[in-house]
Amino acid sequence: MEWDVKQLREKIQTTISENHSDQNSPISVPKVYEAICQILMELIEKDWSRTNQKYDETKPKQVFYFSMEFLLGRLLQSYLLNYQLLNTCNQAIKELGFDPEEIYYCEQDPGLGNGGLGRLAACFLDSTASLSYPGHGYGIRFRYGLFEQRIINGYQTELPDYWLKDRYPWEIRRADEAVTIQLAGHCYLKEREDGSLICLYENQEKIMAVPYDIPIVGYDNQTINTLRLWSAEPIADIEEQEEDQYYHQLEQEHSSWQISGFLYPDDSHYEGKQLRLKQQYFLVSASLQDILRKYSSISSATLPKKLVIQINDTHPSLAIPELLRILLDEKRLEWEVAWEITRKIFAYTNHTLMSEALETWPVDMFRELLPRIYMLIEEINERFCQDIWLNQPHLRQKIPSLAIIADHQIHMARLAVVGSFSVNGVAKIHSEILKTREMKDFYHLYPKRFNNKTNGISHRRWLVMVNPRLTHLISDTIGTSWVRHPRELTHLLRYTKDTFFLEQLHSIKQENKRKLAAIIHQRTGILVDDQSIFDVQIKRMHEYKRQLLNVFHILYLYNELKQNPKLDITPRTFIFAAKAAPNYYFAKEVIKLIHTVASIVNYDHTIHGKLKVVFLENYNVSLAEKIIPATDLSEQISTAGKEASGTGNMKMMMNGALTIGTLDGANIEMKNVVQKENMFIFGLKADEVYHIYQNNDYFANEVYQNDERLVRILHQLRDGLFGHQECKNIYYHLLSTNDPFFILKDFSDYVETQQLVDHSYTEKQRWLAKSLINIAHSGKFSSDQTIQEYATGIWKLRKG
């Protein structure tokens, strides 16, 4: 956009005076914010309709990304960036006498996702548009996002996240494109005159799905794709009803609003909740109706040439039987034809290796809510099992573990594999484990279906937007084309010995650390040393992610310092941020433990401030944006074989953090690019973990009894940590479950590796060179690259 600072500033001023008739009231932060949003939205709307028009005219093949979650983060700054207006706007805001940050923070951060899976969807939309691919998202406009976390007395409490209290400036309600969703009731098949069957329904619940569109602005390419989020609303007019109908209508109205009421938190164990099933069907039914309406002029058989639907985990996998239903019941195609078309349209991404997280639905609940879809799943299952029986006799005995319906449950991952043409994992190791373990038999059935697409993240948000000084340093050094082609960051490798460059890198990190230190002080009252190592673990709280291992290391260091106050260690600030699912008791205990440890360590003067422990509450995209640029050490310490990929690891790498991690998820690919001397790798490997599971030869008790450091820590927990009684359960839980995530087993290696970190940090030049090497190789994890691979490998798209 061709505005200079003066023009934009004047435009903001005139917009404010047009909006507010009272010329005497002073211009304020909210007024400036509103005006900027309005100006930008006008700009966007023009390009948006041009993009749509182009798609209508040229009819390219399009991808639709179905996801229950899109964790967008604040959008204003990223829109400005993609319009190349960010610097201009910052300057204009300053000239108006305001702090740009204050203006951008007027925007709500919609928490429409749990974590990695939702944020990945957002980075993918950004990259799809930035690469000029025709691709759009479909999701739900939950009125309440993931809960807001407040820590009270060290305990997590949850508050509702009503993110819509102010008007959300980036959505456009399109009531004229609403569709009707039908649920529950009864259905039965009846013969038509020609002998074909028709499905008839009675007493169905009807809900209206109203779309709200959010523009997805590509980077400097005038491509604006669409994220369409559905809101559930009642359909009937409740006035003028008969008395007995009236309350029924009210009930229906209430239950309609509920469907897009709130986002379910991702728990430690999957639980099949009826409302969640309704949400999933609501999403896929609305989205498919919308898509098929757009493609109404082409024949069903040509649909796979014109569109592809990527389903983000199994959550939207009901789209498979729903499309089949439409093709059979409404388009009246034969089963074989309808099934062939369906299978050519869907591609499924798996995001978890935790078997307890896999979605299954109890048959009874499912049948009651979606009777026709149930019939079709039964038929899919029947044909699938029969096919194995007849054509794969060697797999006959495997049928119970392959069947879509087994043990009175519907297994959604199995449905997703059977009903799609592509199944991908999200990092090399993850995709391998799917093939060789979790989905081994499916892999033997359909070897060509399985593939890998290693996750990526948007450099524009996670570097250019959040770390402007580092961005300038890079651009001043190697030019700006890396922003479009992040692989070019490898040009930085020439500077690993350039002391002047490294000094600047250092000063940027220090400035980011000082800023974070100020936030920490403001929010928690804790004073941290910006010369200390900022050791960061930010992610959902989960046993397999092993925040507890990190805490054990802190306790170990603390105990050492208590024994020998003169011990020479590099000062460290341990920073945590994590939400625990509200019903995940153990995860909440660990949050309490971190606070307890903090309350002991932070105020013990005998350790001379060498250790500080900080827990920042309410982790979300906006908080991540503050922490990541200030990170020295990125903790990626999951039990090997458990973390599908991880994406926080990539974000911190790109901002110059070094990683301490296990050989898990994308850490492995990171090690392959940066080389092992530029990372701190420790712990069991995935095959060792599997080996132990198989042989049942791990005894947690033995490991800890033989390590006096662990004896001390565990006994401190057992006996009430320095007078704090709350943490005893952690001790009992860990030992009574035989430490299923190998915290005790990996402890020793972790501590040793942390000692290496401690030493390396003192060798400033070498540390900075390693940091630079990490930045330089981060282009490998650009979501542009990942989307390019999806587009050519799975979607077969051409650029718009």
Taking the complex as a whole, how short is the minimal distance between the CB of residue 134 and ligand 26V, in angstroms?
Answer: 23
Residue number with CB closer to ligand 26V (257 or 544): 544
Angle formed by the axes of helices 86-95 and 5-19, to 10°? 60
Candidates 73, 110, 116, 304; binder of ligand 26V (CB under 6 A) is 116
Taking the complex as a whole, how short is the minimal distance between the CB of residue 68 and ligand 26V, in angstroms?
Answer: 7
Residue number with CB closer to ligand 26V (115 or 641): 115
Candidates 90, 114, 226, 454; binder of ligand 26V (CB under 6 A) is 114
Q: Where are the alpha helices (DSSP H) in 298-454?
A: 303-306, 319-325, 335-345, 363-369, 371-391, 399-402, 412-418, 428-433, 440-445
Q: By CB under 6 A, is residue 426 in contact with ligand 26V?
A: yes
Amino acid at 416: A
Q: Cα separation of 276 and 286, whole Å?
A: 15
Q: Identify whether 226 is a catalytic site residue.
A: no
Taking the complex as a whole, how short is the minimal distance between the CB of residue 778 and ligand 26V, in angstroms?
Answer: 16
Burial label for 52, CB within 10 Å (0-12, 13-18, 19+), is: middle
Residue number with CB closer to ligand 26V (100 or 113): 113
Residue number with CB closer to ligand 26V (289 or 455): 455
Q: Cα separation of 120 and 138, whole Å?
A: 14
Q: By CB under 6 A, is residue 134 in contact with ligand 26V?
A: no
**321 CB contacts (<8 Å, ≥6 apart)?**
373, 376, 377, 380, 415, 419
Residue 423 dihedral angles phi and psi, to the nearest 5°: -130, 120
Q: Identify whether 545 is a catalytic site residue.
A: yes
Residue number with CB closer to ligand 26V (431 or 532): 431
Taking the complex as a whole, how short is the minimal distance between the CB of residue 666 and ligand 26V, in angstroms?
Answer: 7
- Three-state DSSP class for 151? strand
**557 CB contacts (<8 Å, ≥6 apart)?**
569, 572, 611
Amino acid at 787: I
Taking the complex as a whole, how short is the minimal distance between the CB of residue 595 and ligand 26V, in angstroms?
Answer: 25
Between the alpha carbon of residue 269 and those of residues 163, 281, 356, the distances in Å are 27, 21, 5
Which listed range, 115-123, 253-261, 296-304, 792-800, lies at the site for ligand 26V (CB under 6 A)?
A: 115-123
Contact positions with ligand 26V (CB under 6 A) in 263-292: 264, 266, 270
Taking the complex as a whole, how short is the minimal distance between the CB of residue 117 and ligand 26V, in angstroms?
Answer: 3
Residue number with CB closer to ligand 26V (474 or 644): 644
Residue number with CB closer to ligand 26V (185 or 362): 362
Total residues contacting ligand 26V by CB under 6 A comes to 20
Candidates 352, 431, 783, 786; binder of ligand 26V (CB under 6 A) is 352
- Three-state DSSP class for 658? strand
Residue 123 dihedral angles phi and psi, to the nearest 5°: -60, -35
CB of 757 within 8 A of CB of 718? Answer: no
Q: Cα separation of 40 and 236, whole Å?
A: 37
Q: By CB under 6 A, is residue 347 in contact with ligand 26V?
A: no
Contact positions with ligand 26V (CB under 6 A) in 708-747: none
* Given the residues 119, 545, 546, 745, the one annotated as active site: 545
* Given the residues 647, 659, 662, 786, the one annotated as active site: 647
Residue number with CB closer to ligand 26V (216 or 644): 644
Q: Cα separation of 300 and 313, whole Å?
A: 25
* Given the residues 651, 724, 777, 780, the one annotated as active site: 651
Residue number with CB closer to ligand 26V (117 or 376): 117
Residue number with CB closer to ligand 26V (17 or 672): 672
Q: Identify whether 792 is a catalytic site residue.
A: no
Q: Which of 297, 226, 228 is nearest to 51 (CA)?
A: 226
Task: Give the DSSP per-residue string, 195-220.
Answer: S-EEEEEES-EEEEEEEEEEEEE-SS
Q: Identify whether 54 is a catalytic site residue.
A: no
Taking the complex as a whole, how short is the minimal distance between the CB of residue 73 and ligand 26V, in angstroms?
Answer: 15
Taking the complex as a whole, how short is the minimal distance between the CB of residue 573 and ligand 26V, in angstroms?
Answer: 26
Q: Give the residue nearest to ligand 26V (CB).
A: 116
Contact positions with ligand 26V (CB under 6 A) in 747-776: none
Residue number with CB closer to ligand 26V (37 or 263): 263
* Given the residues 278, 315, 325, 351, the one annotated as active site: 351
Which listed range, 108-116, 331-339, 556-564, 618-626, lies at the site for ligand 26V (CB under 6 A)?
A: 108-116
Candidates 73, 115, 137, 145; binder of ligand 26V (CB under 6 A) is 115
CB count in 10 Å sphere of residue 472: 15
Q: Cα separation of 372 and 330, whole Å?
A: 13
Q: By CB under 6 A, is residue 664 in contact with ligand 26V?
A: no
Between the alpha carbon of residue 112 and those of residues 1, 67, 713, the distances in Å are 30, 11, 38
Q: By CB under 6 A, is residue 117 in contact with ligand 26V?
A: yes
Which listed range, 19-27, 114-122, 164-172, 524-532, lies at the site for ligand 26V (CB under 6 A)?
A: 114-122
Taking the complex as a whole, how short is the minimal distance between the CB of residue 691 and ligand 26V, in angstroms?
Answer: 22
Q: Cα separation of 750 and 521, whole Å?
A: 29
Structure-block tokens of residue 65: 């990304």
Taking the complex as a whole, how short is the minimal distance between the CB of residue 115 and ligand 26V, in angstroms?
Answer: 5
Burial label for 407, CB within 10 Å (0-12, 13-18, 19+), is: exposed
Amino acid at 305: K
Structure-block tokens of residue 392: 């794969």
Residue number with CB closer to ligand 26V (154 or 582): 582
Taking the complex as a whole, how short is the minimal distance between the CB of residue 351 and ligand 26V, in angstroms?
Answer: 4
Q: Cα separation of 350 and 262, whole Å?
A: 23
Q: Are strands 205-217 and 533-538 parallel, antiparallel or unpaired?
A: unpaired
The owner of tokens 């106050």 is 565
* Given the residues 119, 539, 546, 770, the one annotated as active site: 539
Which listed range, 242-250, 351-359, 728-736, 764-772, lies at the site for ligand 26V (CB under 6 A)?
A: 351-359
The owner of tokens 């153990």 is 586
Contact positions with ligand 26V (CB under 6 A) in 430-469: 455
The contact pattern for ligand 26V, residues 625-654, with x = CB under 6 A and - = no contact, is ------------------xxxxx-------
The owner of tokens 């940027």 is 508
Which listed range, 20-28, 59-67, 109-117, 568-576, lies at the site for ligand 26V (CB under 6 A)?
A: 109-117
Burial 113-126 (b: 16+ CB within 10 A, else e): bbbbbbbbbbbbbb
Q: Identify whether 352 is a catalytic site residue.
A: no
Candidates 351, 459, 513, 610; binder of ligand 26V (CB under 6 A) is 351
Contact positions with ligand 26V (CB under 6 A) in 205-264: 264
Q: By CB under 6 A, is residue 120 in contact with ligand 26V?
A: yes
Q: By CB under 6 A, is residue 422 in contact with ligand 26V?
A: no
Task: Give the DSSP per-residue string, 713-767.
Answer: HHHHHHT-BTTB-TTHHHHHHHHHTT-TT-HHHHHHHHHHHHHHHHHHHHSHHHH
- Give the number of C-alpha atoms closer than 13 A to the C-alpha of residue 72, restricted to the C-beta side: 29
Structure-block tokens of residue 692: 């132990």
Candidates 665, 683, 779, 800; binder of ligand 26V (CB under 6 A) is 665
Taking the complex as a whole, how short is the minimal distance between the CB of residue 359 and ligand 26V, in angstroms?
Answer: 7
Taking the complex as a whole, how short is the minimal distance between the CB of residue 269 and ligand 26V, in angstroms?
Answer: 9
**755 CB contacts (<8 Å, ≥6 apart)?**
none
Q: Identify whether 540 is a catalytic site residue.
A: yes
CB of 590 within 8 A of CB of 577? Answer: no
Residue number with CB closer to ligand 26V (29 or 358): 358
Q: Cα separation of 561 and 571, whole Å?
A: 11
Residues acting as catalytic residues: 351, 539-540, 545, 647, 651
Interface residues with ligand 26V (CB under 6 A) are 114-117, 120, 264, 266, 270, 313, 351-352, 357, 426, 455, 643-647, 665
